[in-house]
Amino acid sequence: MFWLMGSLSRNDWYSVWLLLPAVVLVLILALALRRQLDALLLGDDSARTLGVNTVAIRLILLLATALLERERAREPAREAAQREVLRLEGLGEQVQELTRAEVELQGRQSTQRVTDAALAAALVSVETLATRRQVLAQQIETLQPLAAAADALGLRVHQAEQREQAVQALAARIRNRDALRADEARRQALFDAALAARNVAKAGFDALDAAWRRAQAAILAQHLHDGGPCPVCGSAEHPEPARFEGELPTEAALSGATEAVRAAEQAQEIARVALDGAARLAAASQGEVEALQGAVDTAAAPEGGAQADTVAALRKQLQAAVAAGVTLGKARAQAIEHEAVVAAAAIGLEQARAAAAEAASAVQVARHLADERRAAVPEALRAPAALEAALKGARSQREQLDRALRQAQEAHGAAARDEAAQRARQEALVQAAAAAVVRVEEAGAAFTAALHGAGFDHDAVYRDAVLDPEATDALAATLSAFDEALAAARERQLRAAAAVEGAARPDLVALDARAAADRAQLDAVLGQLGERKVELEKLAQSIALLAAIARETGAIETEYAVAGHLAAIANGENGRNLTFQRYVLAALLDDVLRAASLRLKAMSRGRYLLQRRDEVADARRAAGLDLEVMDDYTGRARPVSTLSGGEGFMASLALALGLSDVVQAYAGGVQLDTLFIDEGFGSLDPESLDMAMKALIDLQQRGRMVGVISHVEEMKQQIDVAIEVVQGVRGSRVRIVC
């Protein structure tokens, strides 16, 4: 009973309080029954104890029955609690779906923010690129006139430099002429001085010689005699013999005078030779001055400073034009690159718009799905924690109700079993009491007989001989405990027999084996279930990863749809097998062919023109740069491989010259002043050779230096300056022929 009371809740105690009148009635009945039992057993302690226990057990049974009925009456509450648990458990999946939908919505919104930011950045980039394109277009428009004037300015600078060089050369020649004239005058003065010295020396020699002769005549005259022949003339008459007064000249003086005359004549000759050389140099210099004056405006020669200022100004203008050309080329290249960037930015903008639209649509879909999921879940239970708390409370209430019912059922069953056992004990006790009365009577007679037979005259003597109360009580208690245990065992045996009545004896070994097999199978199934859950989670992750990869690859495929198509076209995967590089080179080649055709037409007397073949001749190789010649004689185009050796050489020469012209035009004023041609002239006929030489001479006259390497003898005769390599026994040597 106390166990039952200890297990009651507050509500159960309230129910007990409501059943208190019935409990009082039961107590009254128990007291009456106790009085009857006491009267029956004449106040036996065991009977009183049995009566008290019976009343208590019946009271407990009554309480357990009342509690059981009360718990059975709460069956709707248990069913409602079960339904609430099932409802909340059913909401769990919906709450998870709602959570996933909200997470998906947040992810979509985050993606939308990213795509919106990317779209805004793409718009800003496109606007910036458009502004940059306008700036480049204005820059190109500004630079084009300046760069276009580079060729004209280069020609003017070249002409001005040539004029300046000619003027400077003329000034140098004039200065040289003046210096040579001054040297000629100085040489003339020296010659005049030498001539005067020679005349003086000659006069001195003549005077000395005359004096010497007179002296010799005077000496001869001293030996003349009248009538004697003159040793000089042989005359016999001597009307006026020679006389000499003064110092007689000596042979040494006469020799010195002769040497002085000879030295003076040598000095005069040296001065004359020097004067003649100076005169020739002065005359040659005068000729050079006159030749240069014929090619240069003589009016500009004295005022070279103004001409230098003009050349410097033209050079500055040319430098500005060349710089403008370089800047223009860079600007054009930047414009081309910028156009590609603009196109890429436009594609990126469209992709950003598509991504933003897709993100917005995805947000709308996710928001609609989240709203649907919210509508299916009460607001108070939308949070997983709130649902978990509500489910925990509902399960707790359901378990509390189930536990109360089980406890009531267990208490009622235990009370019923105790009441049945007590009833059996009571019946046995009543029967035992009746038998005890008979036995008491019989025992009294037997006791008296035995008492007398034992030699006791009366009871007092016997009582003096009996055991003390403690020993008697101990024996009585032992007997009572044995009787109670025996009655309980019999009662349990009866209940067990009733419970198994009509049932077959189970095979415990087989059942244990089956239970073990079932447990093993259950463990295996649970293990497989865990593995399947893990595989299911992995598959879900793989599906999510595949979806993300599909989204990424979708964007990549969309981007590649344009870039890949452009790359395929640029790599020559088109109907003409024409790559982007060949397309650009073809545009440059057209310019080269136009320039080369002008020269080839002149060299071939108007027969051939070079042109590029647009058709695909061989689908196995790239096209776009194949050449052919238009033959004016036949009116048809044919491959360049059909040209003869001489015609091929003329075509090659025309291509080289055309390429140099185009390079100069594209280089913004830079000139290719030197051209070397190695062999090839030997295959030309005389007429073609003459035309080729005219083209080369025309290049030379235009200011270019043309170097030709050839063994053709006719070319040697037409070349003014040549470097010949002559073979010898000691090796080759170089000889310059002018």
DSSP sequence for 491-528: HHHHHHHHHTTTPPPP-HHHHHHHHHHHHHHHHHHHHH
CA dihedral defined by 596, 600, 601, 605, rounded to 10 degrees? 170
Crossing angle between the packed helical segments 384-453 and 20-41, to the nearest 10 degrees: 10
- Give the pLDDT confidence score for residue 447 in this predicted structure: 65
* Phi and psi, residue 298, nearest 5°: -65, -20
* Spatial CB neighbours of 546, under 8 Å, sequence gap ≥ 6: none
Q: Other C-beta atoms within 10 Å of 405: how many?
A: 18
pLDDT band per the 50, 70, 90 thresholds, residue 232: low
Helices (H), 42-74: 45-73
More confident residue, 674 or 549: 549
- Give the pLDDT confidence score for residue 677 in this predicted structure: 78
Taking Cα atoms as reference points, which of 434, 63, 58, 20 lies closest to residue 50? 58
pLDDT band per the 50, 70, 90 thresholds, residue 494: confident
pLDDT above 50 for 111: yes
Average pLDDT of the residues in 664-687:
69
CA distances from 262 to 250, 253, 271, 275, 654 (A): 19, 14, 14, 20, 72
Q: In this structure, what token pair is assigned to residue 63?
A: 């309480």
Amino acid letter for position 250: T
- Give the pLDDT confidence score for residue 229 in this predicted structure: 72
More confident residue, 309 or 332: 332
Planar angle of CA 624, 627, 632, nearest 5 degrees:
135
The lowest-confidence range among 28-42, 121-135, 136-150, 575-589 is 28-42
* Spatial CB neighbours of 644, under 8 Å, sequence gap ≥ 6: 683
pTM here?
0.30
The lowest-confidence range among 217-226, 477-486, 545-554 is 217-226
When mean pLDDT is compared over 182-186, 216-220, 561-565, the highest value belongs to 182-186
pLDDT above 80 for 546: yes
- Give the pLDDT confidence score for residue 302 in this predicted structure: 37
- Give the pLDDT confidence score for residue 304 in this predicted structure: 42
SS3 419: helix
Q: What is the CA radius of gyration of the chain?
A: 74
* Phi and psi, residue 502, nearest 5°: 80, 0
DSSP-derived pairing of the beta strands 674-678 and 705-709? parallel
CA 161 to the chain's CA centroid: 53
Average pLDDT of the residues in 78-99:
69
Per-residue DSSP letter, 683? G
DSSP-derived pairing of the beta strands 731-737 and 722-728? antiparallel
Distance CA 729, CA 723 (A): 19
More confident residue, 306 or 456: 456
pLDDT above 50 for 364: yes
pLDDT band per the 50, 70, 90 thresholds, residue 140: confident
CA dihedral defined by 425, 431, 436, 442, rounded to 10 degrees? -160
Cα dihedral across residues 396, 401, 407, 410: positive or negative: negative
Helix/strand number for the chain, H first, E second: 16, 7
- Give the pLDDT confidence score for residue 7 in this predicted structure: 44
Q: In this structure, what token pair is assigned to residue 262?
A: 């000879």
Q: In this structure, what token pair is assigned to residue 656?
A: 């080289």
More confident residue, 175 or 210: 175
pLDDT above 60 for 687: yes
pLDDT above 60 for 730: yes
Average pLDDT of the residues in 114-142:
83
pLDDT above 50 for 460: yes
Q: Which helix (H) or strand (E) holds 23?
A: helix 20-41
β-bridge mates for residue 675, sequence order: 706
More confident residue, 144 or 596: 596
- Give the pLDDT confidence score for residue 271 in this predicted structure: 81
Buried b (16+ CB within 10 A) or exposed e, 625-664: ebbbbbbeeeeeeeebeebeebbbbbbbbbbbbbbbbbeb
pLDDT band per the 50, 70, 90 thresholds, residue 26: very low
Planar angle of CA 264, 269, 274, nearest 5 degrees:
125
Per-residue DSSP letter, 19? T
Average pLDDT of the residues in 155-172:
76
* Phi and psi, residue 476, nearest 5°: -65, -40
Crossing angle between the packed helical segments 251-295 and 150-222, to the nearest 10 degrees: 160
Q: How does the average pLDDT of the chain come out, rounded?
A: 74
Q: Other C-beta atoms within 10 Å of 288: how many?
A: 17
SS3 623: coil
Amino acid letter for position 652: S
SS3 227: coil
- Give the pLDDT confidence score for residue 584 in this predicted structure: 82
- Give the pLDDT confidence score for residue 297 in this predicted structure: 52
Q: In this structure, what token pair is assigned to residue 172?
A: 């140098």
608-612: strand order across its sheet: 608-612, 627-631, 636-639
* Phi and psi, residue 638, nearest 5°: -145, 160
Average pLDDT of the residues in 346-353:
80
Give percent above pLDDT 70 in the chain: 73
pLDDT above 50 for 363: yes
Average pLDDT of the residues in 301-320:
62
Amino acid letter for position 475: L
SS3 243: coil
- Give the pLDDT confidence score for residue 299 in this predicted structure: 38
Cβ burial, residue 35 (10 Å; 0-12/13-18/19+): exposed
* Phi and psi, residue 448, nearest 5°: -65, -45
pLDDT above 70 for 312: yes
Q: In this structure, what token pair is assigned to residue 117?
A: 């930011």
pLDDT above 70 for 548: yes
Average pLDDT of the residues in 334-350:
75
Average pLDDT of the residues in 70-99:
71
When mean pLDDT is compared over 48-52, 61-65, 141-145, the highest value belongs to 141-145
Q: In this structure, what token pair is assigned to residue 507?
A: 């095979």
Tens digits of residue pLDDT in 240-284 = 666 666 666 777 877 888 888 888 888 888 888 888 878 888 887
Instruction: Decide if 112 contacts 345 (C-beta within 8 A).
Output: no
